[in-house]
Structure 1
Amino acid sequence: MSTIQRPSRPCKECQRRKLRCDAQQPKCGLCQRARVPCEASPAGKRGPKRGHLDALRNRLVQLEETLQNRLDSEQHPQEHAQALHYSPGSTDASQSTDFLRGDVGYGDPLPQAFMLPGPSMAGDADTLGLGPFPFPDLAVSLPQIDRGTHAELDQLYFDRVHPSFPILHKRRYLNWSKSTAKSRSQTCLQQVMWILATLLSTQSRDLINPLYSRVKQDIDLIIMDTGPCQLELVQAWTLLTVCELMRALYGQAWASAGRMFRLLQGLRYHEIDSPRKDPVASEGMIDPIRTEEKRRVFWMAFLIDHLLSIRNRWPICTRLPISDHAFQAAQLGSSTFLSQAVTEPPSSDTCSFNECIIIATLSGRGLLRDVHGTISEAYGGSGQIHIDHDEWLNLVLATRNQALRQRNDSDRMGTFAQILGQVTEILFCKSLMTMNKNSSTESCTQEYRCRVLRAAEKIVLFAADLTALHFSMVHPFMFIPLFVTAEFLYENRALGDGAFLTQLRSLVDVFGQLTNVNDHERSYLDLLSRSCQQNIAIMPATTCVELKRIARDFLEALEDPNDPTKAQAVASADLSVTHESYPSTEGLEQFLSGWAKAKQFMPNFRMELVDMVAEVDASGSGGKVWVFSKVTGGGGGTDRDSIDMMSINGEGKVWKTKDVQRITSKH
């Protein structure tokens, strides 16, 4: 049977793992051993994109006009200063009083005193020389986005992002998305949508940073405006928070989340279905689709709120969202309130979005239970919570998790809900274990440990299934419940006769196979040290995946021996090196000095990684890695196939390397 000749480029899997591809047909050797699809990587396009030169010319014209406008504005600094100047004393007292009484309508502008000042308000208007609507920063220039890219990004968003964050009505969005008369809020919303779509794609990733810079700049200017606050602005702040969480920009995410929560509170989205409102005059009767969009953005913020452990203390009079299928088809009905959904038996009609909200609510109540116990102990109480509350929470959580298992939803939100349910089980049992730590009832504590272990096993199984999916099919917030599980297992790794440590190793192995959407060449392990409260750099060297990562980092550090900081991060100070080509060395400093001199005589030296095999020590920490590589440009001018062994200690540092075998290649 004839086969099509594979191009010389590596396949996608080998390229992702940074391994050499043998280009065998129909599968390369690595893909055949791993039993994964083998696809050739696409060739990169040469030259600039179509229309790029025209876009640059248009940009030059735009910059000239902007500069001219700035020069004109400098001639009238007094007028512009008055336009930007804000005096707290000038705020209308009746306006603030109306807001506190709750008399501000949905379409009314928010009181000026309510708005958070944007970063640009700290500057002096005379110095800036800006008018009432400042021009964008010249440093923030956007690449030209043609109609084809526009349509592709829109489609990517609804294919890959919307299933995880279902807050937009697709047809409504498409009606205004290509209009030239979009509002500033709509433009910001669209750009944030494109950032999220690009994060979950391998295409157009050069758009992420310029789009993000422009959105951050423009959305602050919109907040400064005292006009009516549009729904699209709230949606933009919500998706911007999502974007910053996905990119591990946690400081910015907290600030954006604060803006998002204050906007929702000020617009009273938590009272959309309040019985005090006149149902005839309500917006829900006039535009039910827009009202449902408001419900959805509120509940998405609620979900983010609970995931970040920020408890919302306002009474909620907003119904849960309807199913996404009914929403997109404009089949709008009446759903239940959260209090009903939590207490009533689970229904097969409950959508995955609502399941996540319910599970997050149960998790929040468990956290609130811990807070009450801590406060009670601080004031001299026993810290014990009424047993009826524990029994109720235990029953509801067990019933909800059982219903999720029976439904077995395989969509992004459904899988996320199942894992979140098991994490809530772990946190609940952890709370009970802490409460009974001084109790003599050892049998109860053992029961909780068994329940936690079963929940952890299920989470590992769910997470392992995710490795077979494309990263765009995994919920972008999946790292939150998975990392919470890893932290708990790490804290209790000594329990269960090693069972907790075994599950932790399995989970970290899975992390090494899940793609980090912020950098497709890296995995969840790269996020681990930045996202966990524990310094789980996490147990360096307790899994084969982590051992291989340390070995790869060590090889990368050797590319520049004159910069010792990289090597010091992954190698022990008393590094021992045995090699056939030069004398053995003791100590990292001596090795780097000798290696730097050796590279001066081998300027074309290259070490191409072919494969690695790792083995964890019997102690469960540290181990050995055998590195298979092809060496070119070495002494004698011959190519060699090399096998090196690295020994890694329990702290995750390379302490010994040994040249095992070098075979001269025959040409």
Structure 2
Amino acid sequence: MSGSRQQPGLACEECRKKKLRCDRQRPQCDQCEESGTVCIVNQARSPRGPKKGHLKALRNRIATLESIINCGQANARPKDGFNEQYHANNTIQMLSPPQEYTPNAASPECHPFSYTVESSSLSTPITPMSSPAHAGFDMVEADLNQLYFDRVHPVVPMLHQGRYFTWSQRPDKPSSHTCLQLTMWLLAAASSAHLQHMRESLYTRARHAIEALDHEISPDSAACLQTAQAWILLTHYEYRYMNYRRAWLTAGRAFRIIQLAKLHEIDRQNLGVNMAHTEAWTEAEEKRRTYWLAYCLDRLLNISDEWPLSLHDEALYIYLPVSESDFQHGRPVVMNSLYHEMESSGEKMLPPLAETVVLITLCWHSVAIQRVAHSGNISPDQSTDTWTRHRWLYQLVQKRLMLISLPSSAPELHDPLRLFTNMLANAAVIWFYNIMEALQIDIDDDTFLVPLYSAYEIVGLAKPLTRSGFFKAHPFSPMLLYLSANFIKAHADQLSCVSVSEDTQLKLGELKKALRILQGGNNLAMGYLDLLESDLYDKFCSVSPVRGFAFPVTGQTQPPFFMDIMDSF
């Protein structure tokens, strides 16, 4: 036997199977000869290393990415805005790799984008396409669309998916549709931990694109609806990730366009025409949802600072929104009006969005009552009528709470909007009680127990809220968590006098924990958490009357009017 450790050639199949050292003798090796086994050598065995097509797939993907980069750097921006080529080039530029991986990092048109390749997708070779830039864009576009409808749409259920995917694939879509799509992608990127770096670029392009549409807006324009929807989505982004006051001003643009389009009276016409045509009914329902989301946004943005409303409910000719299932499947359903559902509170459960509209309206009416009471310009008879109306509204809120209340373990609470509705109903009870205190009405211990139970219910609902992650939580959820924490802390001295007394610090700890989790995707949670943990909080509670949501923390690290409050001490 030679000095070589292993003989040249291939080992036989029997030795390979038994993991024995084969001496490669032919026609039969020693092992097979001793065991009386036929010695078979497979000459067509595949060589070791990556599977066939694996390296080729990697090379093709690298070539695709390089083509995207080169195409984004080579194409200049045309002057006249929103044709197909401009849209494709700008999208490619937004989806470029990060600066440190870009060949020409000095180019101002390169924006961050990370691209990951799943190992499962490398088993099949990829043939280079004629337009690799469009191939890369299609993958990212599909990802952003999916993120939007998975994480953003559940709390802003405004768009019909079928209608969106129909017009989004058209190469000649109007500029208003392009702007709406950019704002959708902006919120989608903000709702993904891996696409955060795209936010700044998408925000800049979306805002500039929407502002350029002012000359195209008219009451009978088809662009009115998409423009209003784009402004609403942009408001949600600014409210969660930027400045509260900026979001409030941006919301004003949406409200004015909605008023221009007269969405508050779309059901003044004969509804039977829409009921007979599914497509027409779906479009009308999308308009209803756009109006009602703006309606709720108007009240939630103004409720803590008690600013005047833009969208009023005195003369509405519009039905409440239907369930999400009926909307997406195009099943024509006739809902009741807002006034009818308020009058018949407690008779039936409404879809989450419709329930939110009713509860927010009841709460806002209580704010109006409080303002009248604080004005000092009412007679004793009017004061009695005011208190009677407040008590009637409070009873309606309690009826709705009993109707929709769910335990924190209920599977229905996986729906973020249903969860928010349950929190809002409990928060409304606390809110009405706070107004009773502000009006200096005599309150007995039994009356105090009702908002106390609601505050504890919100503590319990904070668990499913944080389990779903801050990306899918309703943007105004921190306001309700803060309201509960404010009530528990402000009434800590009363809790020791009632039989349901529990560990106050434990409850406050649960609410603070929820706010800490939510602050990763919501500046409002950060502002409320800072106020709860500040040393001045106890001083606020002892000096200031509890009013509405107590202190108007509005999504900034430093709450609005913070210095004004400090000056009062």
Q: TM-score range by the shorter chain?
A: 0.5 to 0.7
Whole-angstrom CA distance in 2 between matches of 1:141 and 1:178: 24
User: 1:506 is matched with which residue?
Assistant: 509
Deviations 1:513-563 (A, max 9, x none): 524343xxxxx7x7445358x944445999xxxxxxxxxxxxxxxxxxxxx
Q: Which amino acid aligns with 1:475?
A: H
Task: Give yes or no for the alignment of 1:394 onto 2:381.
Answer: no
User: 2:165 is matched with which residue?
Assistant: 174
Task: Give yes or no for the alignment of 1:154 onto 2:145.
Answer: yes
Match of 1:264 among 250, 258, 269: 258
User: 2:298 is matched with which residue?
Assistant: 305
Q: 1:540 to 1:226 in 2, by over 3 A?
A: closer
- Pairwise CA distance, 1:398: 1.1
Task: Give yes or no for the alignment of 1:484 onto 2:456.
Answer: no
Q: Is the 8 A contact 2:228 2:255 kept in 1?
A: no
Larger Rg: 2
Residue aligned with 1:182, SS: coil
- Pairwise CA distance, 1:425: 0.4
Q: Which amino acid aligns with 1:452?
A: P
User: 2:549 is matched with which residue?
Assistant: none
The correspondence of residues 561-580 of structure 1 with structure 2, limited to 5 A, is none
- Pairwise CA distance, 1:401: 0.2
Residue aligned with 2:173, SS: coil
Task: Give yes or no for the alignment of 1:230 onto 2:233.
Answer: no
The two structures, once aligned, show a CA RMSD in angstroms of 3.5
Q: Which amino acid aligns with 1:62?
A: N
**Once structures 1 and 2 are overlaid, which stretch shifts more, 210-219 or 175-184?**
175-184
User: 2:184 is matched with which residue?
Assistant: 193
Q: 1:539 to 1:356 in 2, by over 3 A?
A: farther
Q: 1:378 to 1:514 in 2, by over 3 A?
A: farther
- Pairwise CA distance, 1:464: 2.3
User: 1:57 is matched with which residue?
Assistant: 70
Task: Tell me which of the two structures has the higher relative contact order, counting C-alpha pairs closer than 8 angstroms and 6 or more residues apart.
Answer: 2
- Pairwise CA distance, 1:56: 3.1
Q: 1:491 to 1:401 in 2, by over 3 A?
A: same
Residue aligned with 2:335, SS: coil
User: 1:328 is matched with which residue?
Assistant: 328
Superposition TM-score, scaled by structure 1 size: 0.56
Whole-angstrom CA distance in 1 between matches of 2:187 and 2:156: 11
User: 1:475 is matched with which residue?
Assistant: 474
Task: Give yes or no for the alignment of 1:255 onto 2:249.
Answer: yes
Q: Give the structure with the larger strand fraction.
A: 1
Q: Is the 8 A contact 2:319 2:336 kept in 1?
A: yes
- Pairwise CA distance, 1:403: 0.6
- Pairwise CA distance, 1:467: 2.9
User: 1:530 is matched with which residue?
Assistant: 527
Q: Which amino acid aligns with 1:471?
A: F
Match of 1:291 among 265, 272, 284: 284
Q: 1:64 to 1:430 in 2, by over 3 A?
A: closer
Task: Give yes or no for the alignment of 1:422 onto 2:426.
Answer: yes
Whole-angstrom CA distance in 1 between matches of 2:173 and 2:217: 18
Whole-angstrom CA distance in 2 between matches of 1:184 and 1:499: 57
Whole-angstrom CA distance in 2 between matches of 1:185 and 1:209: 21
- Pairwise CA distance, 1:346: 3.6
Gaps of 5+ in 2: 1-57, 81-107, 114-132, 539-569
User: 1:10 is matched with which residue?
Assistant: none
Q: 1:278 to 1:401 in 2, by over 3 A?
A: closer
Q: 1:527 to 1:391 in 2, by over 3 A?
A: closer
Q: 1:280 to 1:353 in 2, by over 3 A?
A: closer
Q: Which amino acid aligns with 1:320?
A: L
Q: Is the 8 A contact 1:319 1:337 kept in 2?
A: yes
Q: Is the 8 A contact 1:320 1:336 kept in 2?
A: yes
Aligned-pair identity (%): 23
Q: 1:473 to 1:259 in 2, by over 3 A?
A: closer
Residue aligned with 2:235, SS: helix
Deviations 1:179-219 (A, max 9, x none): 22121111111111112222222222221110011111111
Q: Give the structure with the larger helix fraction.
A: 2
Q: 1:142 to 1:263 in 2, by over 3 A?
A: farther
Q: Which amino acid aligns with 2:169?
A: K
Q: 1:292 to 1:189 in 2, by over 3 A?
A: same
Deviations 1:595-638 (A, max 9, x none): xxxxxxxxxxxxxxxxxxxxxxxxxxxxxxxxxxxxxxxxxxxx
Residue aligned with 2:154, SS: coil
Whole-angstrom CA distance in 2 between matches of 1:462 and 1:49: 47
Whole-angstrom CA distance in 2 between matches of 1:383 and 1:500: 38
Q: 1:248 to 1:456 in 2, by over 3 A?
A: farther
Q: Is the 8 A contact 2:263 2:287 kept in 1?
A: yes
Q: 1:488 to 1:406 in 2, by over 3 A?
A: closer
Whole-angstrom CA distance in 2 between matches of 1:386 and 1:339: 19
Q: Which amino acid aligns with 2:204?
A: S
User: 1:319 is matched with which residue?
Assistant: 319
- Pairwise CA distance, 1:506: 2.9
Q: Is the 8 A contact 2:349 2:404 kept in 1?
A: no
User: 1:461 is matched with which residue?
Assistant: 460
- Pairwise CA distance, 1:483: 2.5
Q: Which amino acid aligns with 2:235?
A: T
- Pairwise CA distance, 1:377: 5.5
- Pairwise CA distance, 1:226: 5.1
Q: Is the 8 A contact 2:235 2:247 kept in 1?
A: yes
Q: Which amino acid aligns with 2:73?
A: L
Residue aligned with 1:203, SS: coil
Residue aligned with 1:386, SS: helix
Q: 1:251 to 1:436 in 2, by over 3 A?
A: closer
Superposition TM-score, scaled by structure 2 size: 0.65
Question: How many residues are aligned here?
Answer: 414
Whole-angstrom CA distance in 1 between matches of 2:263 and 2:519: 34
- Pairwise CA distance, 1:224: 3.6
Q: 1:266 to 1:528 in 2, by over 3 A?
A: same
Residue aligned with 1:471, SS: coil
Whole-angstrom CA distance in 2 between matches of 1:429 and 1:267: 38
User: 2:404 is matched with which residue?
Assistant: 404
Residue aligned with 1:188, SS: helix
